[in-house]
Homo-oligomer: A and B are copies of this chain.
Amino acid sequence: MRADAQRNRERILDAAEEVFAHHGASASTEEVARLAGVAIGTVFRHFPTKDDLLAAILKRLLARLAEDAATLGGADGLHVFFRRLVEQAAAKRTVVDLAGVSVPAALSQLGEAVGELLGQAQAAGTVRGDVRRPEVMALLVSLCQGALQGGWDAKLQERTLAVVFAGLAA
């Protein structure tokens, strides 16, 4: 791949992340091109359809999250991760808005990272032993959705998470 192509690809991904974070997945490809400083045709050369573009940034984002999760650990790693994700969701629509686009590989990667955190929390006795990964993921997704849509303030977020954490606790 030629150097300019490589450079533009990165620019487009960065721009797309920014644009979709602010205006949701319904933002136009044209807007992405403008922010990236390339012509619209260039965007479509790299990502033949809008869905391809969405899938690409979603994959990147999920990978980043999984990586983030992997650096955490210990008794309250899971709790920290929950809080961090919910906070981000309120600010950035991206992850949340993209129900339609699927990137199975990236998602399962995140799932494993969360499973790891759950295991550690259970080992430390911070979380009940009979809780399993699927419901933890379900709660995570739900809370992100809710935070985005509801426009929670810090207080409400804390109180809501407190209820969920209590439910997870031993």
The chain A residues found within 8 Å of chain B, CB to CB, are 99, 131-132, 134-135, 138-139, 141-143, 145-147, 149-150, 152, 156, 159-160, 162-168
Contact = CB atoms under 8 A, between A and B. Distances in A.
Contact of A165 (B138, B165, B167): B167
9 contacts: A134-B156, A135-B162, A138-B146, A138-B150, A138-B156, A138-B160, A139-B160, A143-B146, A167-B167
Residue among A143, A145, A162 with most chain B CB within 10 A: A145
A50 to B, nearest CB: 14
A96 to B, nearest CB: 9
A152 B143 CA distance: 15
Q: How many copies does the complex hold?
A: 2
A163 B165 CA distance: 9
A78 to B, nearest CB: 13
Given A139-B163, A141-B146, A142-B147, 10 more contacts: A99-B149, A138-B146, A141-B149, A141-B150, A142-B146, A143-B146, A145-B149, A146-B146, A162-B167, A163-B167
Contacts of A150: 138, 141-142
Contact of A132 (B99, B138, B147, B159): B159
A28 to B, nearest CB: 15
